[in-house]
């Protein structure tokens, strides 16, 4: 039973446009959510997070939105740049304190 799901395996966006990556979760005990970015041949690196007491967190071009009632979060990147091309993992943490990851979405930003 997969508790964190990223249903879109890939996304292609034109440079300068908005990229929207989606993530759904099933465990209502999750109270902290994170996005990681992974380039080929590198480990995932932390990008942005949000606590369940908030519905939005912004950091430069990156904004994460949380909809607790829908158990859905999304990552918005605007404007998208070719260097943003990577695999993006959504992760959630709950009462066990351990990170549960989704399967990732590969973002390609075309120049």
Q: Least distance (Å) from other proteins to the CB of residue 29?
A: 12
Q: Is 16 left (phi over 0), alpha (psi -120 to 50) or beta?
A: left
Q: What are the angstrom distances between the C-alpha of 40 and each of 1, 4, 43, 46?
A: 27, 22, 8, 15
Given a contact cutoff of 8 angstroms between Cβ atoms, the answer to whether 71 and 64 are in contact is no
Which region, judged by CB under 8 A, interacts with other proteins, from 19-27, 33-41, 56-64, 65-73?
Answer: 33-41
- According to the binding rule CB under 8 A, does residue 102 interact with other proteins? yes
Of 23, 44, 75, 84, the one binding other proteins (CB under 8 A) is: 44
Which residues make up the interface to other proteins (CB under 8 A)? Answer: 2, 4, 9, 34, 36, 41-46, 49, 89, 91, 93, 96-104
């Amino acid at each position: 039973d997969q508790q964190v799901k990223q249903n879109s395996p890939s996304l292609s966006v034109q440079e300068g446009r908005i990229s929207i990556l989606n993530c759904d979760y099933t465990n209502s005990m999750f109270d902290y959510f994170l996005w990681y970015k992974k380039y080929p041949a590198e480990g995932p690196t932390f990008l942005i997070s949000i606590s369940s007491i908030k519905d939005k967190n912004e950091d430069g071009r990156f904004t994460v939105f949380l909809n607790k009632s829908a158990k859905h979060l999304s990552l918005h990147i605007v404007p998208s740049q070719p260097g943003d091309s990577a695999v993006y993992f959504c992760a959630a943490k709950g009462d066990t304190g351990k990170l549960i990851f989704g399967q990732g979405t590969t973002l390609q930003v075309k120049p």
